[in-house]
Structure 1
Amino acid sequence: MDYGLAHYGPTHAALQRALLRPHHNEWCHFCPPSLDGNGAAMARSGQYTPPTTSEEHDQSQHSQQPPRSRRGSLIACAQPGWETPVCCAGCHDGQVTFCRKMPNIKVFSGSSHCDLAQKVVDRLGIELGKVVLKKFSNQETCVEVGESVRGEDVYIIQSGCGEVNDNLMELLIMINACKIASASRVTAVIPCFPYARQDKKDKSRAPISAKLVANMLSVAGADHIITMDLHASQIQGFFDIPVDNLYAEPAVLKWVRENIPEWRNSIIVSPDAGGAKRVTAIADRLNVEFALIHKERKKANEVASMVLVGDVKDRVAILVDDMADTCGTIVHAADKLMEAGASKVYAILTHGIFSGPAISRINNACFEAVVVTNTIPQDQHMKECSKIQCIDVSMILAEAIRRTHNGESVSYLFSHVPM
């Protein structure tokens, strides 16, 4: 395999062997000098003499270490087959690690959230795959994959937002197109899972549409699903293929600590009983208390009243939920918290759908800020409402793709935000 080192000559064959030595699932940080100028000059001039055997490598005192970048910085690499140096955060005190480019991977984007897909591939250091998405005159969806995917590990990013039905059909056709074109594996990356609220029979003859969507994805040819903050965790059980349900919680915790000065005097509030588990997990991580708003219906046909369970007086109340659509629930919850004596009210939501009167309700509500992630496009919403702020989760999705492609565990992402 050619790693772009042939022009260094046979005297540096040991350097090429050293590059192949794995280190924490990455290439060794010590053996290669920086290949982007200074290091290449060192290798050509003989100032850097690599170990000739793996034993010498292990026994070396690192007296001839190559130049390092600062922790986490990126240096352009002129040699083919090599990524920029990155920091291996888990070992050797942040010394530079050189990573080979990700082989046999293709990432495509549907039309629902191209901006998020671009951020993901920028994070991975690769290009978006070429695909043409259009409609015939009768509004049937047409997909044309513009490059070979034979034997490739394919990831298709499509969120369940906007024109949900059209985007879902587009995703299914893209999956099938890649599968019948001999892709080795097709992973659907669905940041906001469509039809997730239809996860059970809540009344007679009601469909379980989330299960139907799971079946459709499997039949289309998906081998794996990556999603974020499913409305109901049992949706994972609707699939017969692996499902990685990522959490926005680490990014939320980071935002709270960095943007709410009084977070130590805060209380995490769930706007309904169904979110109790979610808010208790966040409250435990922040070492603060939690509260719950219970909707109580005393008589048939009577409007539900809200009962606050917990003391929020003179505290910063942080409402946390997985999604907000028309925002009626969180706005009423915010009013209830202010009536109970909360000093400020924030709302943090993973999926900000914001349909119908949602924006006007937020503008007129008592929120300090309504914080959402970019699993759904938020640029237009942020223009219409200054209270809406956005947390970027592209780094979580990108790292999940990288770890999946390399056969690594993704459980690290359940409690950490990749840098």
Structure 2
Amino acid sequence: MRGVQIFSGNSHPALTETICERLGTSPAPADLGKFANGETSVNIGVSVRNQDVYIVQSGSSKINDSVMELLIMISACKGGSAKSITAVMPYFPYSRQSKKKSHRGAITARMLANLLSIAGVDHVITMDLHASQMQGFFGKPVDNLFAEPFIARWIRMNVSGWRDAVVVSKNAGGTKRVTSLADTLKLNFGIVTTDRRRPKVPVNTMSDSTVFFDAVEDEVRAAKEAQPFELRLHRSLATPPIPEEMENIDSPQELLRPETPPAARRPSELEIEYTDVRVRDVVTGRLVQGQLVDDDYHPESDSHSGGTTPGAGGSTFGHGENTEVVPETMFNSMISSVSSLPPDHALGGSFDAVESDDEASVAGYDHERTITLVGEVRDRPVFLVDDMIDKSGSWIAAAETVVKRGGAAKVYCIATHGLFGSDSLDQMEACPSIDHIVVTNTFPIEPSMLKRSKKLIIIDVSTLLAESIRRHHYGESVSALFHLND
């Protein structure tokens, strides 16, 4: 290819060499290093005047160094009078920070997009963004390629009995990605979700108004049993006679409140018989500190540190020396002002602000959670699909649920980007419910991890990236790259 210079950053040189090999060229020389104080040094070793420059830089374990190195390389090529500069970023750094998760949170992905534009980039090629709406952060063209065709082809060629498999999303945020792969393979799909179990003492962690009214009814019932009301009805000539059915009233509540019609009662007060056969495809389990436990499991100690005990003169919060007595008036005010939305939702209950990935809520959460599997997976292979594998908590929890609760035959954990933070790969290797871990080579994986892993499978997507570069250089349409399954 004439008029093209392809540079490689330090994040993933092996991928750059594979791309250049498919294009029949070699990476352009560039001296990348660091000064003694840790600053990044870049020196372009070839003329880029009036050339189409492509800089391949993915994420890495040293993510901040990779980002800064890319920005400096773009600026250096811009100063060298390059005709166009394209950043090829198979994994876009900070893609999970594409929205606010708290009132004072930062949209870091948008900031990085602005930095790329200021540095002088003209075009961005990436793959499987965490949120496709991130393309709106850029003022330049963005090609968000998909690894789904390569994953679907690998499944057809390497998984026996794949026609009977089920594609399952491990969280609610990945359902669109899962349904797309299921449509491509003409398979059924399911979903695994986790939610916090309602605590037994619903004062400082109340998340539903039903809990409050149940507690009030219990207190009224207890007070009525302790001090029963006496209703004395005085008859006189000025008042009409009282019917006999009203003389047997035990409390004023029965006189003032009519009986609730059956249609207005709560579902818990009625015996509902479910006749829909699809209800049998819903399986639930208990998740305690990221581990799937039996239904009869009882923790040794209560994990809730803020217990409450309503009393006649007030309520107490905490244990031991930190116990604080709250006046009754303040106690009632606290109950009435508690939000009816779950407390772990950011921005006062904005569901869109909550991270779709539930790693932190599964692995490092003190409360017990309920994990639910929707879909029939018994005696079938299961493909757990998401865009990346960073921590292992939610993957292991979902795999154990579909195997131990759903009765799945095999579990394949499939993702585009294999970040494998900390020791997550070793934890997934040790999980007996996971049979294979399938990722692409968009993110560099250390050779030592590849050697000791027996379940890890890597799919090469350099063909897609190389074809995208070729079409962009020659001014051809790239629409066909988004419809490889057709």
Scaled to the shorter chain, the TM-score interval is: 0.7 to 0.9
From 474, 479, 483, give the equivalent of 1:406.
Answer: 474
Is 1:236 aligned to residue 302 of structure 2?
no
CA contact (8 A) 1:104 1:153 kept: yes
Residue of structure 1 equivalent to 2:306:
none
Task: For residue 304 of structure 1, report the CA deviation from its aligned partner.
Answer: 3.3
From 104, 108, 111, give the equivalent of 2:10.
Answer: 111
Q: Deviations over 1:317-372 (max 9, x none)?
A: 00111001121111111000102110110111100111112022111112211000
- Secondary structure of 1:346's match? strand
Residue of structure 2 equivalent to 1:162:
61
- Secondary structure of 2:60's match? coil
Q: How does 1:186-205 map to 2 (within 5 A)?
A: 186-205=85-104
- Normalised by the length of structure 1, the TM-score is 0.74
- Letter paired with 2:128: D
- Secondary structure of 1:226's match? strand
From 371, 376, 386, give the equivalent of 1:311.
Answer: 376
Consecutive aligned runs of 4 or more in structure 1 exceeding 6 Å deviation: none
CA contact (8 A) 1:271 1:292 kept: yes
- Letter paired with 1:309: V
C-alpha distance 240-308 of structure 1, shift in aligned 2 (>3 A): same
Residue of structure 2 equivalent to 1:320:
385
CA distance, structure 2, for counterparts of residue 334 and residue 290 of structure 1: 15
Residue of structure 1 equivalent to 2:451:
383
- Letter paired with 2:115: M
Over the matched positions of the two proteins, sequence identity in percent amounts to 49
- Secondary structure of 1:195's match? coil
CA distance, structure 1, for counterparts of residue 176 and residue 459 of structure 2: 22
From 73, 77, 80, give the equivalent of 1:174.
Answer: 73
Is 1:147 aligned to residue 46 of structure 2?
yes
Task: For residue 416 of structure 1, report the CA deviation from its aligned partner.
Answer: 2.2
Q: Deviations over 1:48-106 (max 9, x none)?
A: xxxxxxxxxxxxxxxxxxxxxxxxxxxxxxxxxxxxxxxxxxxxxxxxxxxxxx22111
Q: How does 1:227-376 map to 2 (within 5 A)?
A: 227-299=126-198, 300=205, 302-339=367-404, 340-365=406-431, 366-376=433-443
What CA RMSD, in Å, does the superposition of the two structures yield over aligned residues? 1.3
Residue of structure 1 equivalent to 2:278:
none
Q: Deviations over 1:242-286 (max 9, x none)?
A: 000000000000100011011001000111111101110111111
- Letter paired with 2:474: N
Aligned length: 317
Higher mean C-alpha deviation, range 161-170 or range 294-303 = 294-303
CA distance, structure 2, for counterparts of residue 415 and residue 364 of structure 1: 37
CA distance, structure 2, for counterparts of residue 403 and residue 306 of structure 1: 46
Higher mean C-alpha deviation, range 228-237 or range 374-383 = 374-383
| Structure 2, gaps ≥5 residues long | 199-204, 206-365
- Secondary structure of 1:126's match? coil
Larger Rg: 2
| Structure 1, gaps ≥5 residues long | 1-101
Point out which structure has higher relative CO (alpha carbons under 8 A, 6+ apart). 2
Task: For residue 302 of structure 1, report the CA deviation from its aligned partner.
Answer: 2.6
CA distance, structure 2, for counterparts of residue 206 and residue 247 of structure 1: 29
- Secondary structure of 2:53's match? strand
CA distance, structure 2, for counterparts of residue 343 and residue 202 of structure 1: 37
- Secondary structure of 1:148's match? coil
Task: For residue 380 of structure 1, report the CA deviation from its aligned partner.
Answer: 3.2
CA distance, structure 2, for counterparts of residue 239 and residue 274 of structure 1: 23
Q: Deviations over 1:139-194 (max 9, x none)?
A: 10000000000000000000012200000000000000001100010000000000
- Secondary structure of 1:405's match? helix
- Letter paired with 1:277: K
Q: How does 1:122-137 map to 2 (within 5 A)?
A: 122-137=21-36
